Amino acid sequence: MTRIVQAILPGLRQIFGTQGTVLLSSSSASGLMEGSIRNCVAQRSLHLVAGAFGDRWRKLAEECGREPDAIEVPPGEAIAPEAVDEALRRGRFEAVCLTHNETATGVTNPLREIAAVVRRHEGVLLMVDAVSSLGGIPVEVDAHGIDVCFASVQKALALPPGFSVCAVSERALQKARSVKGRGYYFDFLHLAEASAKAQPLATPSVSHLVAMEAQLQVIQREGLERRYARHAQMGERVRGWAAERFGLFARKGHESNTVTCVANTRKIDVAGFIEKLKGRGFQISNGYSELKEKTFRIGHMGEHTLEGVEALLQAMDEVLAS
């Protein structure tokens, strides 16, 4: 076990863009999302809500007994850094919670610019949900001064669901030492101590650890820059198709390179469309939550290729024509 953990931590640090502590959790990323609140927020957090998953983080903070506030924009829009600066000037917050890539809307929020704003406000932590960006879109934890950055592994890291990873800064760990009621399983201090020993905190998902060691070797062979470029190429191709056939839901300039949210301007039966694609061996997703049937989502991340994307687009054209 120690050998496997020792083997995967350097690769994860490279993907996160950090020299700091990386935590391992045999859970979905929602566990670490809750952990971020329980460890780093004693009372007030500012949530940047641009879709369903940003809103989940806000609601989770409420369930943890905290007092979250939110900057909320309509679905499809991105968070403006100026709005974050204004909110931080108005109130005292312990942390800003940002969903980097909103899976529900296909929007990539301006991480670099928002991080620069947060760093101007002393004592405020920056916590980032990178579930659908890590491994497909650069995150750069250390360069942007991110204090907590978590992701599950089933998106751009292309592993089965049920495991998540997290980069934490020394500032975040120091904050955790002052917060009571952190629990045990998602206590960052316990997880960091285990990571330093190259050990899991509790009984781990061994199959995920073994698979991660192999997948990190795949990512290393490709190289992160080439991996990011491949995701950008797939995103550009799908967006071009969507713009011609329907319309893009995400605000121009903030479209995701890992998932495209297509506006259902033709008012097709999205559920029926998806079923017909399944019959041809392809899978896309309906809109999330209130966006169901109003949009549909095309994932182009992980080990997908431009050739595979072309095959999907051809199949979609054939179904639309029929």
Same domain, residue pair 58 and 86: yes
Same domain, residue pair 202 and 231: no
| Residue indicated by tokens 């369903």 | 52
Apex 22 CA angle, 18 and 24, nearest 5: 150
pLDDT of residue 1: 82
Apex 153 CA angle, 299 and 24, nearest 5: 160
Same domain, residue pair 143 and 243: no
* Residue after which a domain boundary falls, among 172, 188, 221: 221
User: What's the pLDDT tens digit per position in 226-283?
Assistant: 999 999 999 999 999 999 999 999 999 999 999 999 999 999 999 999 999 999 999 9
If you write DSSP's letter for every residue of 271-299 in order, what string do you get? HHHHHHHHTTT---EEPPGGGBTTEEEEE
Same domain, residue pair 251 and 294: yes
Cβ-contact 158, 303 below 8 angstroms:
yes
Cβ-contact 196, 149 below 8 angstroms:
no
Same domain, residue pair 61 and 15: yes
Across the range 77-98, mean pLDDT stands at: 97
> What order of strands is seen across the sheet that includes strand 295-299?
259-263, 295-299, 285-286
Query: Into how many domains does the chain fold?
Result: 2
Same domain, residue pair 53 and 73: yes
Same domain, residue pair 62 and 49: yes
Same domain, residue pair 185 and 235: no
Apex 207 CA angle, 206 and 213, nearest 5: 90
DSSP secondary structure letter of residue 236: H
Q: Residue 294's domain spans which residues? A: 224-321
Same domain, residue pair 217 and 91: yes
Tokens representing residue 46 in the block: 């500012």
The closest of 187, 214, 211 to 201, measured between CA atoms, is: 187
CATH number, domain of 255, equals 3.90.1150.10
User: What's the pLDDT tens digit per position in 297-308?
Assistant: 999 999 999 999
Neighbours of 171 (CB within 10 A): 17
Say whether pLDDT at 192 is over 90: yes
Same domain, residue pair 246 and 267: yes
Across the range 29-34, mean pLDDT stands at: 98
User: What's the pLDDT tens digit per position in 39-67?
Assistant: 999 999 999 999 999 999 999 999 999 99
Cβ-contact 65, 12 below 8 angstroms:
no
For the chain, give the mean pLDDT. 97
Amino acid present at 231: H
* Residue after which a domain boundary falls, among 181, 200, 221: 221
Neighbours of 78 (CB within 10 A): 21
pLDDT of residue 118: 98
CATH number, domain of 105, equals 3.40.640.10
Same domain, residue pair 213 and 249: no
Say whether pLDDT at 176 is over 90: yes
